[in-house]
Amino acid sequence: MDGLTCPHCGTVNPEDANFCKKCGANLHEDDAPAAATPDAQAAESRTPDAPAAGDDTGADASPAKPPQPFALFDLGLTAPTSRPRRPSPPAEEPAAPAPLPDPTPTPDLSAQLVHTPGLLDALNDDQLDIDPTAPGRAPSSPPIGGEQALWIRRLFSPDPSVADELTQPPAWPNLRMRWIFLVVALAVGIPLLFSRREPTGTIQLWPGVQEAHAAVAALPPGADVIIFWAYDQATAGELDLVAAPVVEHLIQARARVTIVSLLPTGPATADRLVRHAAELVAPAPEAQAVARDLVARNLYLTGGATVLPLLTGQTDARASLLGSASRMELAVVLAADAADVQAWLELVQPRDGTPVVAGTSAAAAPVLQAYWDSGQLTGLVSGFDGALAYRDLLERPYKDVERQAAARQLTAQNWGQLAFLGLILLGNLLAFLFRSEAVRNV
């Protein structure tokens, strides 16, 4: 079969390939000078007219000199890479002077094994210089197959994630995925089903929440506010919690909101949340009118982030998109991903200077913290903590349904994170105990 055989996984690749199409290994790694068998490279680099590189005396130039034994496995072999495995492409640069072989064993044994093609090939009698007909000679073992070779290479791989499965001792307690999944499901599910009516624990007031509340509270009645709705139902479990108090506060401030979303299901997600927030502040018959008074437009904009610069300035493009070219008093970005907030801060905020309040997931908060510190964000509300802290700042007292929901969320978060911590510690403890046992057994 034509092509280059990957020294790592055995896949046949095109002749002109540099890297394996399956595992990404360098197909020319054994062409590099002194990659693993310096003695072989040194021998190949010598010419009849020139002494060995680095050999000042020329004493080693004698062709009768026996090959240096391989530092790791001294089996009296000739260097395996002296056998041509495949045609090598012409070298673009002159070969570097080969270093002298290091007689001391190299500590990184796995690297030598992995990067030395041929070491894992079947050993032939002619390589071992053994007479196969000698008395007492056992019959030759079958050559190592591709799967076995791959297994051995993984076994000695310096990458722990590759070698982990194979290098674990047999006594390792194999906590299968299903048990881990069960622990997480129970840790979250039981508190959701049997949580108390009152929230347990306290809320951490992170920087940015009070400032976000103050920015909304300072809006004059009828102020134009734009909400960049950058989340959908996939992340609504967390983001609805963040968005609800902010939207409720906008209702209280009697703002006029234009919602824009780059997600197809963004407007429907916004509709749903606004209805919910309106029902919290007004009786059911009036909630629809409250929601209608709040939302002037709810738009899905196609074109991705490229459309965002069109939302700035008093331009015709902006007027045609938003129905109005008037300046916004405040921009609220509700996003699960920090990149959406960054897109707004980079593409819109510098052009129109509107203060920005961000409501994000807890995962996005670390990245956005720097924008808060630099003053590019006027307020930052993130995660369960931020949402509940913002809710506490609203003047309206909690309803029973809200209190129960908050209790469920906080309790599930407590136990879920405790389970996460426990699994991390358990993994480390078992790794320590069973590795120690394996060392003692050696």
Partner 1 sequence: MGAGAVLLGAVNLAAVHIRRVQRGDREWSHSLVVIGVAAIVIAAGLIDPAGRNSPVLAWVFDYVLAPGQAMLYALTAFFLAAAGYRFLRLERRGGGWLVAGAVIVLLTQMPRAHALWPPALPAVTVWLVDAPVMAALRGALLGTALALLISGVRYLFGRM
Q: Kindly state whether residue 62 participates in binding partner 1, applying the rule CB under 8 A.
A: no
Nearer to partner 1, 86 or 272 (CB): 272
Q: How far is the CB of 115 from partner 1 (least distance, A)?
A: 19
Nearer to partner 1, 188 or 282 (CB): 188
Contact pick of 148, 204, 315, 436 for partner 1 (by CB under 8 A):
204
Which residues, 6+ apart, have CB-to-CB distance to 198 below 8 Å? 403, 407
Task: List strand residue ranges (DSSP E) for 255-328, in order.
Answer: 256-261, 295-300
> Cα separations (Å) of 337 from 146, 150, 156?
44, 40, 39
Q: Where do the H-state alpha helices sit in 11-159?
A: 38-45, 109-114, 125-128, 146-155
Task: List strand residue ranges (DSSP E) for 1-58, in order.
Answer: 4-5, 12-13
Nearer to partner 1, 152 or 423 (CB): 423
Phi, psi of 251 (to 5 degrees): -65, -45
Kindly state the number of chain residues that form the binding site for partner 1, as judged by CB under 8 A.
Answer: 60
Contact criterion met (CB below 8 Å) for 325 and 287:
no
Neighbours of 85 (CB within 10 A): 14
Q: Kindly state whether residue 202 participates in binding partner 1, applying the rule CB under 8 A.
A: yes
Neighbours of 401 (CB within 10 A): 9
Interface region with partner 1, contact rule CB under 8 A, candidates 75-83, 113-121, 172-180, 222-230: 172-180
Nearer to partner 1, 124 or 306 (CB): 306
Contact pick of 30, 39, 224, 232 for partner 1 (by CB under 8 A):
232
Residue 248, both tokens = 């409720």
**CA nearest neighbour of 76 among 66, 89, 64:** 66
Sign of the torsion angle spanned by Cα atoms 77, 81, 86, 87:
negative
| Contact pattern for partner 1 over residues 405 through 434, marking x by CB under 8 A | -----x--xx-xxxxxx-xx-xxx--xx--
Q: Kindly state whether residue 203 participates in binding partner 1, applying the rule CB under 8 A.
A: yes
Nearer to partner 1, 149 or 407 (CB): 407
Residues numbered 252-271 forming contacts with partner 1, rule: CB under 8 A: 264-265, 267-268, 271
> Cα separations (Å) of 298 from 105, 226, 307, 437?
70, 10, 16, 63
Q: Kindly state whether residue 381 participates in binding partner 1, applying the rule CB under 8 A.
A: no
Quote the Cα angle for 264-265-267, to 5°: 95
Report d(CA 329, CA 326) in Å as an integer: 9
Interface region with partner 1, contact rule CB under 8 A, candidates 69-77, 100-108, 113-121, 295-303: 295-303
Interface region with partner 1, contact rule CB under 8 A, candidates 22-30, 127-135, 361-369, 393-401: 361-369
Residues numbered 139-158 forming contacts with partner 1, rule: CB under 8 A: none
Q: Kindly state whether residue 207 participates in binding partner 1, applying the rule CB under 8 A.
A: yes
Contact positions toward partner 1, by CB under 8 A? 160-161, 164, 175, 177, 180-181, 183-185, 188, 199-204, 206-207, 232-237, 264-265, 267-268, 271-272, 301-303, 362, 366-367, 369-370, 373, 383-385, 410, 413-414, 416-421, 423-424, 426-428, 431-432, 435
